[in-house]
A and B are shown apart, each in its own frame.
Chain A
Amino acid sequence: MVQINNDARELAIKVVYYGPALSGKTTNLQALYQKFSPEVRGRLMTLDTKDDRTLFFDMMPVFFKTEAGVKVKLRLFTVPGQVIHESTRRIVLQGTDAVIFVADSRRSEAAATLAYWNNMLKNLEANGLDYRTLPLVIQLNKRDLPDARSEEELGDLRKVIRPPMVPAVAVRGEGVAETLWALLSLTYRSLDRTMRLGERWKITEREFLARVFDHVDLKGTRLQGEAPPK
């Protein structure tokens, strides 16, 4: 649930990277941390207490101010993939505004991925979220590995799965910005629908994306040149 502070003219948006253990969620945040310039992002916080395995997640804040003086804060979270972290997962998922499902695109991981997908649907529902209206992007990570699904297979998948799918090699930073772009674009549209972001807060989708991606190193990404000028 996007947090709105009308007096302070502030929006706080929560984005969660969900997916099986080791699918590359942390790697996504680390890559983004490298690509973002420090004026728009805070430190990457990694909570990884070895002795107490219930506490386990990453968080990175991204923030900007719009032309109209609205402060927008995006908090990017990863949730723990391990089964034992079920309760942390639910806490982190609470009140989320958008989800990136990071899947390991290797064939050998298909079963685990499907299990997590279902687990996510269950947890979203437990948190009163509807996955059909929630901004959701699937990242098919680890495209560099030999066992990864072929392009044709992905094409077939695209026909049956509604959420956009973005291929990535997170370790090399490939597809990471593209995934976030796709998600933020959906998020903007969803927020514009529910709370008239354009009309009431005077933020256009173009500005929303530009405020973030103008500060992202887009070298070598498919977004290069796509980022609209401010």
Chain B
Amino acid sequence: MSPAPSFLQQKLPLADLLDLKAFSEVCQSFAELYRVGLKVFDESGNKLVDVKVGNADFCGYIWTKAAGREQCVATVGRVKSEPVDELARPVAFQCFSGCRYVVQPVLHEGDSIGRVVFGPFVPDDLKELPATLTGIAPDFDATQAGAYLQKIRRVPQETAEKILKHFMDLVDVLVFTGHKSVIAARLHIEAVQESYRELEEKNRLLEESYQKLKALDRLKSNFIATMSHELRTPLTSVIGYSEMMLEGLGGTLSDEQREYLGIIMEKGESLLHLITSILDVSKIEAGRVRLVLGDVDVAQLLRDAAATVLPAARKKRVQVTCEPGTLPRLHADREKLRQCLINLASNAVKFTGTGGSVTIGAELLPGEKLALRISDTGIGIAPEHLTRIFDVFYQVDGSTTREYGGSGLGLAVVKSFVEAHGGEVKVTSTPGRGSTFGLLLPIRQRPEPALTPSLPLHPVAPA
């Protein structure tokens, strides 16, 4: 039911609170300084440190006797794990050999987390070897044992207790600093994990909304594609019937009727053009553009484009020159290329004022490439807009929509179509002097079907 207790509430074993290697060194030098052995156990009785000083020969000799071994093990067991009060004071343990230990628990936050065993030492009140020792074996050599005993430090118990207390103060500080660094480290880890969790959560939410957006975007493209298609069908009828009436199929028309019908047709056609562009864009966005490849006479396409924009150019007295020369035939999608050229040419005318000129030409480049160029002497494009004009619906100046018309789709379509051919669109421009759009196309298409590159993801509304 309750969550896992925070590490701040956990009880830590002594070994986790101490740097055992450094601690052993401290114990070693401490024991050597006082010439008394020192052992440290954790609460489960695991030995963490064991420094022997002076008692090796004496205890070794006792160990040669079976009964000595047995009693020694029993004593060590008591010293190590016989319960002592959880109080910061030493407790003495008597060894059958006459030696003695003082033991004190390591207390931390009111808990005993281990103990320090200081000894064996020879209490200064020991006059001769006790019967408990000399009686362990018939062949016990008391003289020998007595000689070995000399190597163990003789010290009053009271002094041993003082030394131990001194040592315990040291342990206390070490445990405290150890605990502090454990907490700092764990807290650091937890804090990092916590931030990680927060980030993950945010990522998840972002990913979710991204997926939603993507789905919406697909929906939009599909919707537009279907709608554009549905709009085109009746519109072609409107245009077709207007045309028939203009041709007199419905009877004679007055001049006024003729003029009105002309306007209906013209507006109908520009509407059809707009819908076609939208349809193209939505196809590109939905990744559904297919190239229909064939041999294309590029020079003818260029002349066609020039002819298409000529009426509009004449109206504003812009001169259109088209000198393609002789060009190799291109393996490409004729309709799409035609549309690209018309888009560029009508932009050129649209953004060039009276008295200006538009030049349409082509050039063979090394590496089996053809460059188709459309230059004008129009208003030009400031450098900061150059990369954006290919975005869907982007127009340099929102207000120019009024002056120049257009949907902001033309260049986006050009770019995708050209890239679908494995080509690229280049533009150079000087504001106030004019622009040049170049289409670089490979002469031979690679046999594999060209994949349509998708449009730049974030269409930008006119500023």
* Complex interface bits, A1-36 against B, C-beta within 8 A gives 1, otherwise 0: 101000000001010000000000000000000000
Q: Decide if A47 touches B184 in the complex (CB within 8 Å).
A: yes
- Contact partner of A59 (CB less than 8 A), chosen from B3, B5, B8, B188, is B8
Q: Decide if B3 touches A43 in the complex (CB within 8 Å).
A: no
Confirm or deny: A55 has a beta carbon within 8 angstroms of a beta carbon on chain B. Answer: yes
- Contact partner of A63 (CB less than 8 A), chosen from B2, B110, B195, is B110
In this complex, the member of B111, B180, B187, B195 whose beta carbon has the largest number of chain A beta carbons within 10 angstroms is: B187
Confirm or deny: A49 has a beta carbon within 8 angstroms of a beta carbon on chain B. Answer: yes
Q: Decide if A87 touches B191 in the complex (CB within 8 Å).
A: yes
* Complex interface bits, B1-24 against A, C-beta within 8 A gives 1, otherwise 0: 011011011000000000000000
Contact-residue size bin, chain A (C-beta under 8 Å from the other chain): 20 to 34
With A55-B184, A73-B110 known as contacts, the answer to whether A91 contacts B194 (CB < 8 A) is: yes
B436-456 residues at the A interface, CB under 8 angstroms = none
| Cβ–Cβ < 8 Å partners of B198 in chain A | 87
Q: Decide if B183 touches A47 in the complex (CB within 8 Å).
A: yes
Complex: how many Å from CA A18 to CA B88? 33
Residue of A nearest to B195 (CB): A87
* Complex interface bits, B256-280 against A, C-beta within 8 A gives 1, otherwise 0: 0000000000000000000000000
With A71-B110, A91-B194 known as contacts, the answer to whether A1 contacts B183 (CB < 8 A) is: no
Q: Decide if A55 touches B9 in the complex (CB within 8 Å).
A: no
Q: Decide if A42 touches B110 in the complex (CB within 8 Å).
A: yes
How many B residues touch A, CB cutoff 8 Å? 22
Q: Decide if B188 touches A55 in the complex (CB within 8 Å).
A: yes
Confirm or deny: A163 has a beta carbon within 8 angstroms of a beta carbon on chain B. Answer: no
| Cβ–Cβ < 8 Å partners of B176 in chain A | 42-43, 45
| Cβ–Cβ < 8 Å partners of A151 in chain B | none
A70-113 residues at the B interface, CB under 8 angstroms = 71, 73, 75, 77, 87-88, 90-92, 94-95
Q: Decide if A94 touches B183 in the complex (CB within 8 Å).
A: no
Confirm or deny: B190 has a beta carbon within 8 angstroms of a beta carbon on chain A. Answer: yes
Confirm or deny: B109 has a beta carbon within 8 angstroms of a beta carbon on chain A. Answer: yes
With A47-B180, A55-B187 known as contacts, the answer to whether A94 contacts B110 (CB < 8 A) is: no
| Cβ–Cβ < 8 Å partners of A47 in chain B | 180, 183-184, 187
Q: Decide if B191 touches A94 in the complex (CB within 8 Å).
A: no
- Contact partner of B9 (CB less than 8 A), chosen from A52, A54, A95, is A95
Complex: how many Å from CA A184 to CA B132? 55
B176-194 residues at the A interface, CB under 8 angstroms = 176, 179-180, 183-184, 187-188, 190-191, 194
Confirm or deny: B290 has a beta carbon within 8 angstroms of a beta carbon on chain A. Answer: no
| Cβ–Cβ < 8 Å partners of A128 in chain B | 3
Complex: how many Å from CA A91 to CA B190? 8
Confirm or deny: A64 has a beta carbon within 8 angstroms of a beta carbon on chain B. Answer: yes
Q: Decide if B191 touches A54 in the complex (CB within 8 Å).
A: yes
* Complex interface bits, A47-69 against B, C-beta within 8 A gives 1, otherwise 0: 10100101101010101100000
Confirm or deny: B108 has a beta carbon within 8 angstroms of a beta carbon on chain A. Answer: yes
* Complex interface bits, A187-199 against B, C-beta within 8 A gives 1, otherwise 0: 0000000000000
Complex: how many Å from CA A59 to CA B109? 11
Q: Decide if A54 touches B188 in the complex (CB within 8 Å).
A: yes
| Cβ–Cβ < 8 Å partners of B180 in chain A | 45, 47
Q: Decide if A45 touches B109 in the complex (CB within 8 Å).
A: no
With A47-B184, A55-B187 known as contacts, the answer to whether A64 contacts B110 (CB < 8 A) is: yes
Q: Decide if B110 touches A77 in the complex (CB within 8 Å).
A: no
Residue of B nearest to A88 (CB): B191
Complex: how many Å from CA A26 to CA B85? 33
Q: Decide if A95 touches B184 in the complex (CB within 8 Å).
A: no
Residue of B nearest to A72 (CB): B110
Q: Decide if A49 touches B109 in the complex (CB within 8 Å).
A: no
Residue of A nearest to B3 (CB): A95
Complex: how many Å from CA A17 to CA B46? 37
Complex: how many Å from CA A169 to CA B386? 68
With A47-B183, A55-B188 known as contacts, the answer to whether A63 contacts B194 (CB < 8 A) is: no
Residue of A nearest to B4 (CB): A95
Q: Decide if A3 touches B191 in the complex (CB within 8 Å).
A: no
| Cβ–Cβ < 8 Å partners of B109 in chain A | 42, 61, 63, 73, 75
Residue pairs across A and B with Cβ atoms less than 8 A apart, 7 shown, are: A1-B2, A52-B188, A63-B110, A75-B8, A75-B109, A91-B6, A95-B2
Known: A43-B176, A63-B109, A77-B8. 10 other contacts (CB 8 A): A1-B3, A14-B9, A40-B110, A42-B109, A59-B183, A75-B9, A75-B109, A87-B194, A91-B8, A91-B191
Q: Give chain B's interface residues, CB within 8 Å of chain A.
A: 2-3, 5-6, 8-9, 108-111, 176, 179-180, 183-184, 187-188, 190-191, 194-195, 198
